A and B are shown apart, each in its own frame.
Chain A
Amino acid sequence: NAGVMQNPRHLVRRRGQEARLRCSPMKGHSHVYWYRQLPEEGLKFMVYLQKENIIDESGMPKERFSAEFPKEGPSILRIQQVVRGDSAAYFCASSPRIRYSDTQYFGPGTRLTVL
């Protein structure tokens, strides 16, 4: 059973460009979480999605950031008009959520560098 897949692993963008980060959850998992890790810090929650629904986006910046998890295909985290402060590692996690609370399994992350 393949783990959580994220691509690209590294992404370089110039200020003002768009960044698209992809996450394919583990097989059978329909719950996806995105977290951001700024340099030398712990991870911080951004958004929680189920198929076709955003459940909780309380950690998402109000502007330029959006996320989706379509019926078919991976979850996408999109950052428009990137700025240097967006440089970070972005991790995706998935969970089967069979029980009330379940293990979250993390992908390898996408490291975004904004020049």
Chain B
Amino acid sequence: GIQVEQSPPDLILQEGANSTLRCNFSDSVNNLQWFHQNPWGQLINLFYIPSGTKQNGRLSATTVATERYSLLYISSSQTTDSGVYFCAAWGGEQGGSEKLVFGKGTKLTVNP
């Protein structure tokens, strides 16, 4: 099955800084999603982005499906951006059930 790797595993920023999180996947994807898990454990959908670029406020994401990676950009980071960012993908295996495979996450800490 598909494998998903995220980097960096940990990231510490000062408030106001920009950052880029990376997600590599081992096969072509039909579904790729980015999530933010806040310090209270809630999992928040950020983007559904199997290809192309999307933006939502200070966040944007780009997936280059042919090169098997996705990037999540956070601009002007705020302390509320702290938490763990997960990338998850489904490769569309024949007969597969669309189960998402999650990376291990990037733990982001934004200091005031």
Binding site for B on A (CB under 8 A): 33, 35, 41-45, 48, 55-56, 58-59, 89, 91, 93, 95, 97, 100-106, 108-109, 111
Contacts and interface: CB of A to CB of B under 8 A. Distances in A.
Contact of A109 (B30, B41, B96): B41
A89 B41 contact: yes
Contacts of B101: 45
B104 interface: yes
Nearest to B101: A45
Interface stretch (B12-20, B42-50, B62-70, B71-79): B42-50
Contact of B33 (A56, A58, A104): A104
Interface of B: 30-31, 33, 35, 41-43, 45, 48, 50, 86, 88, 90, 92, 96-105
Contacts of B104: 41-42
Contacts of A101: 30-31, 50, 90, 92, 98
B102 A42 contact: yes
Contacts of A89: 41
B99 A33 contact: yes
A48 B98 contact: yes
Nearest to A107: B43
Contacts of A93: 100
B42 A104 contact: no
A33 B97 CA distance: 10
Given A100-B30, A101-B50, A103-B33, A108 B100 contact: no
Contacts of B100: 33, 35, 43, 45, 93, 104
5 contacts: A33-B98, A48-B99, A101-B31, A103-B48, A109-B41
Given A59-B99, A103-B33, A43 B86 contact: yes
A45 B103 CA distance: 12
Contacts of A103: 31, 33, 45, 48
